[in-house]
Amino acid sequence: MNDLINKLENKKAKICVIGLGYVGLPLSILLSQKGYEVLGIDIDEKKINCINSGKSYIQHFDSKVVQECLKSGRISASYDFKRVRECNSIIICLPTPLNAYREPDLSYIIKTLDDICPHLVENQLLSLESTTYPGTTEEILRPKIEKQGFEIGKNFYLSYSPEREDPGNNQYNTSTIPKVVGGSTKNCLKVAISLYKNIINEVIPVSSTRAAEMTKLLENIHRAVNIGLMNEIKPLADRLGIDLYEVINAAATKPFGFVPYYPGPGLGGHCIPIDPFYLTWKAREFGMHTRFIELAGEINASMPAYVVNKVIEGLNNISKALKGSKLLVLGISYKKNVDDMRESPSVEIMQLLKDKGAAVDYSDKYFPEFPSMRKFSFYLKSIRITAEELNNYDLIILATDHDYFDYELIQNNSKMIIDTRGRFKPSENIIRA
């Protein structure tokens, strides 16, 4: 153990990051910048080729950063899982979606473990960062590693440290967001801390991997429930003729006891729409029902349909029917200023409108062409926003409020706008949704 800790603290250790997406790439870059030799592994050859040629495939990550790490000789990428044997530490950053029944899908993690376990060696640290239910590290990872003959805490070390990436947030980055870490044993925790303290400004140790897993779920459940509360109040405020955004901003002036959350067209991204259901699933194992979480999920999932009803209302105001109308959706990523469409409510809104007979286009510079998705197929290209283009549409839907949009141009040249983000002040041609 002491030899591994010394290597990690002296940055003589080689680190393997498995999964080079929105979590794995920033982490790999940070490790490299802090002086570690990094091997990134992914099954996507496009990502491998991009990294090895010094290119970034994530919008908010400049290729120059990748090039600098590549030039230093401290980063490389591969799709060969056998190479984990070269590394002193392995960090897993893989997706953990839900299946069609809203049950945890750990297939990416399990498949990866099956691929790497035969190639693990003594005195390695394996840290899982993927969001999951409490007990995953001990119930899934630990038995597979122990089957290889290792003793956890003695000649192999296992930890869980949830990722806390927030793409598009310029205030915080990987190194400045405090890192929660839990170990399978006290020795495992010591080893994990010796890695993370060298790259993260503040490390928060907790008593177990279960506590660390629960911490990530609580963070996202907190957000999902509070956003759900605002989404429930939004239609009521609308009926009362009250601007909910004005009320939230006024309430936020209270210096204690209130945290502002804002309504929207639904939840998107890889965390908030998914993570709460990991805990509801685990709760059923103990015969318990997490009613707050499930209710918030129902409310948030209903918001795209609410937006569609507002579209119908807006078209009625200009004597148009939804069927046959020409609509433009602004922004298809799940949040502003990022190139990430996972679970985006914008796309669900587009599909609902299309199903009802509307002709739907979109505008989003982060997606020049509508990408291939499992649930949705739109053979479309992004529309360049001009006064002339805006006038071609019966109604505009602001679904994702990217900062680059010219909101004055949009307001002055649109017949009707459905604003799901509170970006515009209400007026005759603007309806909040």
Beta bridge mates, 373: none
Element (H, E) at 329: strand 326-330
How is the beta sheet containing 359-363 ordered, strand by strand? 359-363, 326-330, 395-398, 417-419, 430-432
Separation CA 245–CA 197 (nearest Å): 40
How many Cα atoms sit within 13 Å of 83 on the Cβ side? Answer: 15
Which residues make Cβ contacts (< 8 Å) with residue 148, sequence separation at least 6?
A: 117, 118, 120
Closest CA to 191 of 91, 100, 280, 97: 91
Number of Cβ within 10 Å of residue 188's Cβ equals 27
Separation CA 130–CA 421 (nearest Å): 29
Largest CA distance in the chain: 75
Q: Give buried/exposed letters for 287-315 (b at 16+ CB in 10 A, else e).
A: eeebeebeebbebbbebbebbbebbbebb
Is residue 395 exposed (0-12), middle (13-18) or buried (19+ Cβ within 10 Å)?
buried
Separation CA 37–CA 20 (nearest Å): 16
Number of Cβ within 10 Å of residue 97's Cβ equals 14
**Structure tokens of 224?**
């999902």
Separation CA 331–CA 272 (nearest Å): 19
**Structure tokens of 176?**
């400045």
Closest CA to 314 of 414, 424, 230, 425: 414
Of 16, 87, 188, 271, the active-site residue reads 271
**Structure tokens of 77?**
């990428």
Residue found by looking up tokens 């949830």 in the block? 162
Q: Can you say whether residue 266 is alpha, beta or left, with left for phi > 0 and alpha for psi between -120 and 50 degrees?
A: left
Separation CA 242–CA 251 (nearest Å): 14
Separation CA 40–CA 93 (nearest Å): 11
Is 117 one of the catalytic residues? Answer: no
Catalytically active residues are 271
